[in-house]
Amino acid sequence: MPVATLLVSCRDRTGLVAALSDFVFRHGGNIIDLDQHSETAPGESTGTFLMRLVFDTAGMRLDQQGIRTAISVLAQSHDLTTDLSFSDRRPKVAVFCSTVPHCLYDLLLAQSLGDLAGDIVAVVANHDSLRGVAEHFSLPFHFLPIGQDKLADEAKQEALLTELGIDLVVLARYMQILSPGFVSRWQGRIINIHHSFLPAFVGAKPYHQAKERGVKLIGATAHYVTAELDQGPIIEQDVARVSHKDDVASLIRKGRDLERRVVTRAVRLHLDRRVLVSGNRTVIFG
C-alpha cells in the first residue's frame, strides 16, 4: 500500500497536531514522519502553522478516495489548507532548456540513478542544440522555438504540458522570461535556477558583476517562479569561495557547478513533498 504525504498550512492555534495525529490513528494508519513549524510575521498577531505528515496507509480502513474525502472534511472543520499525495503516483516533470547543458545533464543523471521521486518525461527547448542530450537519456525532445508571437508559442508549450500530464516545470537555464499568464497558471509548479546568490547581482552577467565587486563568495539560487522576475520563494541556495585569482571564466565554471547541484536538490525537495510556501518564503522540512 502507498505512503501518504499531507502538507498543511493554517492559522496557528492549539490542538492542530492532536487533531491530525488522531485522524491517522482513528482510521488505522501509522505515522512515519511528522514535522511542524509555527511562525508569526512581524506586525501580525496570529501566527501560521505548517506541517508535513507522512503516514502508512496499509492498515487504513479507507481507500485513497476515502482518505481524500475524510481529509477534506477535516480541513473544512479546522480551516486548513491541505495538499495530499500518495507514493504510488509519481509526479511528471518537464525540463525547459535553451543551449547550456550542465543543469539538464545533472537532472537527467539524477533520474537515471533513481534519485528523484518523480519522472522527467520530456525535454522542451527553444533551441535544437541539446537534442543529443535528451536522446542520450532516451527522453523525448520537443523543439518549440520562441518567435515574435510569444504568447502563441507559449500556448503550444502549455498544450504539450497538458497533453503529457506534467506536474512540475523546471527551467534548467531556460533563457526566456515566461509571461505573467503562464506563471499564474503554473503557480508553485515552476522551479528556476538563477546563476547568482539572490538577491545579489540580479540581471545580466552576474559573474562579471561579482568580479567587479571583488566578492569572496559566489552562489546559485533555485526558486519558484513568480510574476516578479527572480523574486519568487527560494527553495535552495549554495555558495563557493573565490578570490582575486579567479577570472570571470573561473567564476563561471565554479558557478555552473553550483547551479547544477542546487537545481537538482531543489527539484528533489519539491518531489519529496518537503517544501511549503509561506508568503514569499519557503519552509523546508528535513
For residue 237 the three cell numbers come to 541556495
End-to-end distance of the chain based on CA atoms, in angstroms? 24
CA atoms of 190 and 85, how far apart (whole Å): 18
Identity of residue 283: V
CB count within 10 Å of CB 64 equals: 16
CA atoms of 89 and 241, how far apart (whole Å): 40
28 and 58 Cβ atoms separated by less than 8 Å: no
CA atoms of 242 and 245, how far apart (whole Å): 8
For residue 113, report the phi and psi dihedrals to the nearest 5 degrees.
-90, 0
CA atoms of 187 and 173, how far apart (whole Å): 19
* Residues involved in catalysis: 230
